[in-house]
Structure 1
Amino acid sequence: MKVVIVGAGIIGAACAFHAASAGLDVTVLDRGPVGAGTTSRGEGNVLLSDKEPGPELELARLSRTLWDEAGAELGPETFELQAKGGLVVASTLEGLTALGAFAARQRAAGVRAEPVDEVAEWEPHIAPGLPGGVSYPQDAQVQPVLAAAALLRAAVRHGARLLTGEAAAAVTGRGGRLTGVRTADGRVLPAEAVVNAAGTWGGELGRRLGAPLTVLPRRGFVLVTQPLPRMIRHKVYSADYVANVASSGAGLETSCVVEGTPGGTVLIGASRERVGFDPALDPAVVARLAAGACGLFPFLRDVQLIRAYRGFRPYCPDHLPVIGPDPRAPGVVHACGHEGAGIGLAPATGALVTAQLLGRPWRGADPAGYPALLPDRFLTSGGAPR
């Protein structure tokens, strides 16, 4: 099967890696460089700790296994895979009770979540007086652009082709069957299937492919400190992060997320707001994130920021990704709308898309997928977008 994957970010790279490994004839197409979009604007989270039981958590659990497999095959240092674990902390007793109930639901779904009474024993430099938290030893981190590049290099070794600097314009077909993808400069790439892995632009690409989706941008900022000795052992975030991720509010929301990197810098997040594709640097957001981080780790008050970057996370109205074949356009398979979870969910998304293309299980993914993630959920009974 000839497959064109549109998007060379982490989702497209993972789809290419799994599809090419399965023997499919893969071409990856992107109008820009590898990982230049949302992939390059994130922290590299591979998280189970922030997900309610359901299809997204199941996808995350499969992905966690597949990230380890990719590390074993490609070398974990290739994309800085760190099984550092996560520590979620509560600032009040009420918050700790709610966090404990959330963790109990996750444990019932197969996640390792361990109560922590003395957070200072886990993070010696954390603010005093916190009532407790929950440890998530399965949480991990990767360097996102390195990961996308490594997966694509591996896909190319399996026979895939990578075309950058070319945008997809439309599909071509004959007799109701997809036969190719036409690029913006008029070239037609033969294809029996096309994978929409265009991230924040997945809605627009879907429209060009005859299968429009509601995929919207949500702006987020990340701060980076000067390099430091190892001061923070885990990915540490406040318990309100989970609620903010699931929120549909249009206004600015911030929650404290702090972690170190192999290079010594500390990454500080997280913010989210619906401002369209406005790329402006907002000093107020930077100030709120910095204040939250200093409240959680007071030593950061004496540390310099060296940069702040921002990007757009692709989200759907129900905060779940769209993964699966589109009934309106035979041959079109969506893999987009992952919001801030795309890095963590990428390997399982690639395995699931490959299983759907093959029509058989692949790397633990069932071709039937997860019904709650299929594009059908956005369509009326007549097939029109809701």
Structure 2
Amino acid sequence: MPAPSLDAVIVGAGAVGAACAYYATRAGLSVAVVDRGPVAGGTTGAGEGNLLVSDKEPGPELELALLSLRLWRELAASLPPEDAVEHEAKGGLVIAPDETTLTALRAFAAGQRAAGVEAREVGEGELASLEPELTKGLAGGFHYPQDAQVQPARAAAALLRAARRRGALVRLGEEVTAVLTDPHGAVRGVRTPRGDLHAPAVVNATGTWGGHLAALAGTHLPVLPRRGFVLVTEPLPPGLIRHKVYAADYIADVASDSAGLQSSAVVEGTPAGPVLIGATRERVGFDRTLSTEALRRLARQATALFPRLADVHALRTYCGFRPYLPDHLPAIGPDPRVPGLHHACGHEGAGIGLAPATGVLVTAALTGSEPPVRAEPFRPARFGSGGRPDGPSSSPGARP
């Protein structure tokens, strides 16, 4: 039986690949999604489903995040009930332990508000009304009502099902072993153990493994894994923790280039009852060895924010690998070094949140239409042979 005629092959069935498939099929393109594992089998399945603007300074990533927030709301409203993404508009609460940190947060939030973010300062008294279990004696914080959450694996699966209903071919458990090119170096599809898939475009949505797929195509993308652990508690009463709550030093950790272990408490409840406690960051390759030091730090920092958690049992932990690029911006769009190759990876810890907007940008590039936000800052060819971005750095600056 001949292979179907395709406009694009999307490699990766996580949140980003699923979003690329969803918006591409909405635009009338014929696509196949290929993944060596199951849906959400990589970084997406190890994520918390964060849809955040609170941790992003004004700039291209924040523009992408604001677009994605709107798109996630539209998806939650338009997808059928059986494809619920468990969208929760819970809001975020960033905590300042002292006046120095609160002053820094004020400056940070002022810039965000100018860019369209809703950020409201709250004093210690209002903190207690927003989160009754929060520790006392804090200087204050900022409430970000736009912050939200989805269930990441369900969200990826829902987008893929919607794409399939429009004709997308989904092939799981099938590893891409080669990117096919013509004599001039232009993409012509991919090779898998089940046979070749021919298309004039290939989308690299492989997350942490984005550098590997780029190499198969004969180009370079300096994606590195940044390991993170999450603690999961026993089920707790609904509403015990009402927002996504984190200490202000989390913002600095997100922007850091350090390869060493960093941890800052991010605490949130779930509809099922367990509390999720993150977040750690370290560059240790793909080493999945359990780090007792990382878990100890998470537990200590979480109980400092919520003393009630000191008496709660942690049932399990898991780790994942964020796809890190040196300037902390994803690579999205066509790679001029390999005509027909498009990248949609390197989102670090924001891939689920940024997935819909990424899908829209990739679809705009595939169809030759105008993207709704600036695409130039995410151009994949910005990295030289040394792996550093060219030109002035677009990475986040000093943060609280």
TM-score (norm 2): 0.92
RMSD between superposed Cα atoms in Å: 1.8
Instruction: Give me the identity figure in percent.
Output: 62
Residue of 135, 138, 148 corresponding to 1:130: 138
In structure 2, runs of 5+ residues without a counterpart are: 1-5, 391-400
Q: Which residue of 1 aligns with 2:114?
A: 108
Helix, strand or coil: the match of 1:249? coil
Match of 2:269 among 242, 248, 260: 260
Q: Specify which of 207, 223, 228 is matched with residue 231 of structure 2.
A: 223
User: 1:79 Cα deviation (Å)?
Assistant: 1.7
Unaligned regions of 5+ residues in structure 1, if any? none
CA distance in 2, matches of 1:180, 1:352: 21
> Are positions 1:233 and 2:242 aligned together?
yes
Pair 1:29 & 2:34 matched: yes
Deviation at 1:344, TM superposition (A): 0.3
Deviates more, 1:165-174 or 1:38-47: 165-174
Mark the CA change 1:312 to 1:384 in structure 2 (over 3 Å): closer, same or farther. closer
Displacement of 1:376 in angstroms is: 2.0
Q: CA deviation at 1:385?
A: 9.4
Runs of 4+ that moved beyond 6 A: 383-386
1:149 aligns with 2:154: no
Distance of 2:219 and 2:13 partners within structure 1: 20
Cα drift, residue 301 of structure 1: 0.7
- Higher mean alpha-carbon deviation, 165-174 vs 188-197, is at 165-174
- The letter for the 1-side match of 2:97 is S
State the partner residue of 1:190: 198
Corresponding residue of 1:341? 350
Do the aligned residues in 2 keep the contact of 1:205 with 1:212 (CA within 8 Å)?
Answer: no
SS of equivalent to 1:49: coil
Whether 1:319 aligns to 2:325 is: no
1:294 aligns with 2:303: yes
State the partner residue of 1:375. 380
Aligned to 1:205: 213
Alpha-carbon separation, structure 1, partners of 2:12 and 2:25:
15
Contact 1:20–1:26 (CA under 8 A) maintained in structure 2: yes
Q: CA separation of 1:373/1:102 partners in 2, compared to 1, >3 Å: closer, same or farther?
A: same
Instruction: Give the whole-Å Cα distance in 2 for the aligned partners of 1:43 and 1:295.
Output: 21
Report the CA distance between 1:44 and its aligned residue: 0.7
Contact conserved, 2:187 with 2:201, CA < 8 A, in 1? yes
Contact 1:213–1:385 (8 Å) recurs in 2: no
Deviations 1:247-289 (A, max 9, x none): 0111100001000000011000000001111000111111110
Alignment partner, residue 166 of structure 1:
174
Q: C-alpha separation between the residues in 2 aligned to 1:165 and 1:235?
A: 34
Q: Deviations over 1:131-159 (max 9, x none)?
A: 10000000000110011000100010111
The residue identity in structure 1 corresponding to 2:90 is K
- Residue 370 of structure 2 corresponds to 361
- What is the DSSP-based 3-state SS (H/G/I as helix, E as strand, rest coil) of the residue aligned with 1:168? coil
Partner of 2:394: none
1:337-365, Cα deviation, whole Å (9 max, x unpaired): 00000010000000000011001136xx3
Instruction: Provide the residue aligned with 2:313 in structure 1.
Output: 304
Counterpart residue number, 2:100: 94
> Do the aligned partners of residues 98 and 10 (structure 1) sit closer, same or farther apart at CA in structure 2, a change above 3 Å counting?
same
